[in-house]
């Protein structure tokens, strides 16, 4: 996994798998080379999932995009013999491939009789790359033979063959002509990424062989599209948003035709429209960053600072794609990331915010390095500095020049290859930039390599026994050594597993150190490989030993189902290994599509002793497919289970479980809606399962019974216009199957439906508020059945169709609503209707309303102001509205005092006003026009500093350049002060 980040100092890296940090010290399979993660002997069990890299240095942290690692594989087909298929000549047939487990996609082809004779596709024969099945629309005598499905993994190129499927012709006649039947087609909804190639399949059986045609509903099929496989495949390359729509394939022959429709929708990954850039600022300034991306669906935004989520707090404001920091401080320095994402992708925009610069500084000085003789040495030089300093390495008073054995890497690390005793000594790294310089001394010692011995290397024990493993490290006398024990490559937690593992520290000799691992009360799970890792400041060395454990029995042999009834199954098996301890009992377990894994079943006899090889499982459910397995136990414990038996189905019986939670209500007027929880297939006890719905009006005698033949049904609706709303009924629901009728549920009372609203709201009124808003009010309909639970307001522009308009719903039963986002000076038609959870009621007659004209776009110009003490006289040129704008009815003057949140507003009908500023300070004054359509634009501002005894006059000074405005004011004041 490659990860590279630019930074100064050079960044360090961390990797995360499924949000868990990778620790290369505790798992030898992981290693790092700079930012790259290397996985040795990668496996799906431990390495499958999402990966993300984190890069950081002293200036901040950034996260990489996520990468997903999956493993390609292709299992073998089941070796079970496939049954033959026999059809009449002229009849259509589908041969099932049933591919084995695989990842990722596979390619399908079919072999006829023997490899490499492949089935050729034409208008009569088609191989679906979605299902893998072979479809023959009209079978001919030449089609008789053996068919083999061949699948190929697109990544590994591995191929496997299925068992053969024989195809034969029946001898009882030839199939007559019949109309087409579409057997394979694309989904009703197809999602595709912009730019990919979309492949839509459609193939039909029929006699004569049908012809396939394609069309796009309400549009034309793209010119770039191609028809493949005798028009059974529509292929659209480089799919674009305009290619979205509903596509139809049609199959026809002289006997008739049939069609299928599906919708193709194109999505796009987020793409940047505006990104953030590196910024350097002084303390106290205001930072504003905005990022913007486009995509379908529309992306959402989140912000990160140094890899952590950023939310609004204090000086920090985060709103969607915008972040603002008021009065930045050195603590705000770091790496910022704007993340835009939708359900199909994530993109990152990175920028550094730098507040301060600094001369080079070394955090660790001096640096002491102990290395192993003959190995490579890396002396790092990582000063904190900005800008990037110049680096020079020295030994003594001489500058180090690169050689074949001594190299200066790009990250300023001094690398010494094949170290020797002569390399010992002091090395100086000198760093310098325009702000200063600093030095760091690295003191290097070179020591002999360490050796580690673990004994015994291989040992066998019985469950419950104890064993001692001894680890001896021979090392340099001047070095301290630390030991760590591992079990199957994972560190042993002596606190958590203290009941079984004990760390024993022995006395250190002159040139060696020894530690022991005591394993007490050994269990089967303790079998495996044990590692001892010895570590000094110069070297790390490990050794391994293998522990074998004797224990509970092995799995019994093949389990066979000898006899099956509706509630019992007679099983037989063969004995497995007893692992040197006689088998005492067997435990029979069963699994069905309805069980949570394997469950122990009752047996006859009970218990099943160790000398038996058959028993009967009892109390099973009728008409359920079971698999069985057997587990053996001895004095040491319980062993692994046997392989499970073939699946067998118990025989049918009358249902014994009634539906639960019978209830109802709702529905449309004159409807009685009855609902229940469906009986699980586990308790249906046979084929032909259905429900008997019985009901009668409260107080009557005779029951009405209706049959519901679908086992998955949960609702029955009975309609009778003679009974009024909310009529009470007695209701019960029973069950039946081909074996007979089962029990009914308890009788419950259910009321008929209240229905949807029956009347439209009344007294509807509309008011134009501004150029973009209209208020709508109404009164609810008269009380009665079908009470509204809310209201829906529909509105559309004049000269447009109602169907193209927009809708807004109220919160609960509010009887007013403000429509926003409307176009100015436009005529709208508006209706209101009530709704509840049953449906919608009738709408009011459409009422028209016209929005006001837009406010003037031209701001006040030629601002003039005269200051005398704390009083300011302000005037400007009148604003004239255009024909398509609202007339000016006055002006709004906004006064803001710097450093305070309170604003003062003055309104006037004249193009002038007198302001009194009671408090000393700095004020900013804005002027804008007022109209029925709203407030006009503002362009100019006046900045006033109040002080007594000063009279000043100034022409317009735009605040587009704040420093220029302040300079202009200061100069005028200076000239007029006596």
How far apart, in whole angstroms, are the C-alpha atoms of residue 864 and residue 940?
Answer: 11
Residue 978 pLDDT = 28
Residue 277 pLDDT = 94
Q: Which of 148, 136, 127, 133 is nearest to 87 (CA)?
A: 136
Summarize pLDDT for 549-560 with one digit per residue, the tens.
888 899 999 999
Summarize pLDDT for 286-340 with one digit per residue, the tens.
999 999 999 988 999 999 999 999 999 989 999 989 999 998 888 898 999 999 9
Summarize pLDDT for 632-678 with one digit per residue, the tens.
999 888 999 999 999 999 999 999 999 999 998 777 778 899 999 99
Residue 947 pLDDT = 64
- What token pair was written down for 716? 């029955």
Q: Which of 713, 708, 679 is nearest to 691 (CA)?
A: 708
Q: Which carries the bigger pLDDT value, residue 303 or residue 956?
A: 303
**For all residues of the chain together, what is the average pLDDT?**
88
How far apart, in whole angstroms, are the C-alpha atoms of residue 399 and residue 775?
Answer: 82
Going by the DSSP 8-state scheme, the letter that residue 293 receives in this structure is E
Residue 962 pLDDT = 30
Band of pLDDT at residue 963, cut at 50, 70 and 90: very low
Residue 573 pLDDT = 95
Task: Inform me whether the pLDDT recorded for 365 exceeds 90.
Answer: no
Q: Check if the beta carbon of residue 924 is closer than 8 Å to that of residue 945.
A: no
Q: Is the dihedral of CA 866, 869, 872, 873 positive or negative?
A: negative
Q: Chain-centre distance of CA 506, in angstroms? A: 52
Cis peptide before 481 (omega within 30 of 0): no
Q: Which of 586, 590, 620 is nearest to 606 (CA)?
A: 586
**Is 617 exposed, middle or buried, given 0-12, 13-18 or 19+ CB atoms closer than 10 A?**
buried
**Is 146 exposed, middle or buried, given 0-12, 13-18 or 19+ CB atoms closer than 10 A?**
middle
Summarize pLDDT for 147-188 with one digit per residue, the tens.
999 999 999 999 999 999 999 999 888 888 999 999 999 999
Band of pLDDT at residue 940, cut at 50, 70 and 90: low
| Count of positions (residues) in the chain | 978
Q: Which carries the bigger pLDDT value, residue 523 or residue 679?
A: 679
The string of DSSP letters for 727-777 reads -EEEEEEEEEETTEEEEEPPPEEEEPP--S--S--EEEEEEE-SSS-EEEE
352's CB contacts (< 8 A; 6+ apart) are: 59, 60, 278, 279, 334, 335, 336
Band of pLDDT at residue 954, cut at 50, 70 and 90: very low
Is this structure's pTM higher than 0.75? no
Band of pLDDT at residue 811, cut at 50, 70 and 90: confident
Q: Is the dihedral of CA 889, 895, 896, 901 positive or negative?
A: negative
- What token pair was written down for 637? 């414990």
Residue 507 pLDDT = 66
Summarize pLDDT for 204-253 with one digit per residue, the tens.
999 999 999 999 998 899 999 999 999 999 999 999 999 999 999 999 99
C-beta atoms surrounding 198 within 10 Å: 20
3-state SS of 184-195 is EECCCEEEEECC
How far apart, in whole angstroms, are the C-alpha atoms of residue 962 and residue 536?
Answer: 64
Summarize pLDDT for 71-129 with one digit per residue, the tens.
999 999 998 999 999 999 999 999 999 999 999 899 999 999 988 889 999 999 999 99
CA distances from 92 to 179, 182, 183, 485, 747 (A): 11, 11, 10, 67, 50
Going by the DSSP 8-state scheme, the letter that residue 901 receives in this structure is -
Average the pLDDT over 874-895 and give the result.
Answer: 87
Residue 447 pLDDT = 86
Summarize pLDDT for 890-907 with one digit per residue, the tens.
988 888 888 777 788 888
Q: Check if the beta carbon of residue 796 is closer than 8 Å to that of residue 806.
A: yes
252's CB contacts (< 8 A; 6+ apart) are: 180, 210, 211, 213
How far apart, in whole angstroms, are the C-alpha atoms of residue 840 and residue 637?
Answer: 67
Kindly report the backbone phi and psi dihedral angles of residue 695, in degrees, each rounded to the nearest multiple of 5, phi listed first: -155, 155
Summarize pLDDT for 694-707 with one digit per residue, the tens.
999 988 889 999 99
How many percent of the chain have pLDDT more than 90?
57
């Amino acid at each position: 996994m490659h990860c590279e980040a630019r930074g100064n100092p050079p960044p360090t890296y961390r990797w995360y798998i499924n949000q868990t940090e990778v620790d290369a010290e505790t798992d030898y399979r992981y290693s790092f080379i700079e930012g790259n993660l290397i996985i040795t002997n990668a496996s799906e069990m431990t390495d499958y999932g999402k990966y993300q890299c984190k890069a950081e240095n002293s200036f901040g942290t950034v996260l990489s995009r996520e990468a997903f690692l999956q493993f390609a594989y292709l299992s073998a087909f089941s070796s079970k013999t496939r049954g033959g298929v026999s059809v009449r000549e002229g009849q259509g047939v589908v041969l099932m491939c049933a591919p084995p487990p695989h990842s990722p996609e596979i390619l399908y082809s079919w072999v006829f009789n023997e490899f490499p004779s492949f089935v050729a596709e034409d208008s009569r024969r088609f191989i679906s790359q979605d299902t893998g099945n072979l479809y023959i629309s009209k079978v001919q005598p030449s089609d008789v033979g053996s068919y083999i499905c061949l699948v190929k993994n697109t990544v590994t190129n591995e191929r496997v063959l299925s068992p053969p499927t024989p195809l034969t012709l029946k001898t009882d006649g030839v199939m007559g002509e019949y109309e087409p039947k579409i057997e394979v087609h694309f989904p009703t909804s197809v999602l595709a990424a912009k730019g990919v190639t979309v492949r839509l399949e459609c193939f039909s059986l029929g006699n004569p062989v049908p012809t396939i045609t394609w069309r796009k509903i309400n549009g034309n099929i793209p010119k770039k599209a191609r028809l493949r496989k005798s028009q059974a495949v529509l292929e659209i390359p480089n799919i674009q948003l305009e290619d979205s729509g509903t596509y139809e394939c049609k199959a026809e022959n002289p006997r008739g035709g049939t069609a299928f429709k599906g919708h193709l929708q194109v999505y796009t990954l987020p793409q940047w429209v505006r990104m953030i850039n590196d910024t350097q600022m002084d303390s106290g300034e205001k930072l504003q960053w905005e990022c913007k991306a486009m995509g379908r669906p529309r992306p959402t935004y989140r912000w990160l600072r140094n890899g952590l989520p950023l939310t609004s707090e204090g000086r920090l404001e985060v709103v969607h794609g915008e972040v603002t920091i008021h009065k930045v401080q050195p603590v705000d320095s770091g790496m910022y990331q704007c993340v835009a994402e939708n359900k199909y992708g994530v993109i990152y925009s990175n920028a550094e915010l730098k507040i301060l610069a600094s001369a080079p500084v070394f955090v660790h000085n001096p640096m002491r390095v102990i290395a192993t003789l003959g190995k490579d040495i890396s002396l790092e030089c990582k000063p904190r500095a900005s800008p990037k300093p110049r680096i020079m390495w020295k030994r003594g008073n001489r500058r180090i020049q690169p050689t074949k054995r001594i190299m200066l890497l790009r990250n300023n690390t001094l690398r010494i290859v094949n170290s020797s005793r002569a390399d010992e000594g002091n090395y100086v790294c000198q760093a310098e930039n325009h702000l200063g310089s600093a030095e760091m001394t690295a003191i290097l010692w070179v020591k002999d390599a360490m050796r580690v011995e673990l004994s015994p290397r291989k040992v066998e024990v019985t469950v419950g026994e104890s064993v001692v493993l001894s680890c001896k490290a021979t090392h340099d006398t001047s070095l301290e050594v630390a030991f760590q024990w591992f079990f199957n490559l994972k560190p042993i937690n002596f606190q958590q597993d203290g009941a079984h593992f004990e760390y024993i520290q022995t006395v250190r000799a002159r040139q060696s150190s020894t530690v022991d691992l005591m394993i007490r009360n050994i269990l089967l799970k303790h079998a495996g490989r044990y590692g001892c890792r010895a570590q000094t400041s110069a070297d790390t060395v490990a050794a391994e030993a293998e522990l074998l454990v004797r224990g509970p029995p092995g799995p019994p042999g093949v389990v066979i189902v000898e006899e099956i009834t509706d509630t019992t199954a007679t099983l037989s098996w063969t004995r497995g290994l007893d692992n040197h301890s006689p088998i005492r009992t067997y435990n029979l377990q069963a699994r069905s599509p309805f069980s949570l894994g394997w469950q122990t079943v009752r047996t006859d006899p009970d218990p099943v002793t160790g000398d038996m090889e058959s028993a009967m499982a009892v109390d099973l459910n009728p008409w359920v497919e079971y698999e069985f397995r057997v587990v053996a136990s001895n004095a040491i414990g319980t062993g692994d289970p046997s392989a499970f038996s073939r699946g067998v189905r118990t025989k049918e019986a009358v249902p014994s479980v009634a539906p639960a939670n019978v209830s109802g209500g709702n529905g449309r007027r004159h409807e009685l809606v009855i609902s229940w929880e469906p009986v699980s297939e586990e308790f249906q006890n046979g084929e032909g399962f259905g429900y008997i719905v019985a009901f009668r009006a409260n107080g009557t005698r005779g029951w009405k019974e209706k049959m519901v033949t679908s086992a998955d049904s949960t609702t029955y609706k009975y309609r009778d216009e003679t009974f009024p709303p909310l009529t009470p009924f007695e209701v019960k629901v029973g069950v039946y199957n081909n074996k007979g009728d089962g029990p009914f549920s308890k009788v419950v009372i259910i009321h008929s439906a209240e229905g949807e609203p029956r009347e439209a709201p009344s007294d509807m009124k509309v008011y134009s508020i501004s150029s973009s808003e209209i208020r709508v009010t109404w009164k609810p309909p008269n009380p009665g059945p079908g009470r509204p639970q809310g209201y829906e307001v529909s509105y559309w522009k004049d000269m447009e169709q109602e169907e193209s308009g927009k809708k807004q719903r109220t919160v609960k039963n509010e009887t007013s609503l403000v429509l926003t986002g409307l176009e100015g000076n436009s005529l709208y038609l508006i209706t209101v209707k009530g709704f509840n959870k049953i449906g919608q009621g009738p709408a009011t007659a459409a009422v028209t309303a016209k929005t006001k004209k837009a406010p003037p776009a031209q701001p006040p110009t030629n601002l003039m102001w005269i200051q005398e003490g704390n009083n300011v006289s302000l005037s400007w040129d009148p604003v004239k509205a255009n024909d398509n704008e609202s007339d000016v009815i006055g002006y709004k003057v906004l006064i803001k005092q710097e450093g305070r949140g309170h604003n003062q507003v003055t309104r006037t009908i004249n193009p002038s006003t007198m302001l009194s500023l009671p408090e000393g300070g700095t004020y900013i004054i804005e002027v804008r026009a007022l109209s029925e359509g709203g407030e006009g634009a503002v362009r100019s501002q006046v900045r006033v500093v109040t002080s007594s005894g000063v009279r000043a006059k100034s022409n317009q000074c735009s605040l587009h350049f704040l420093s220029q405005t302040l300079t202009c004011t200061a100069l005028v004041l200076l000239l007029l002060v006596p």
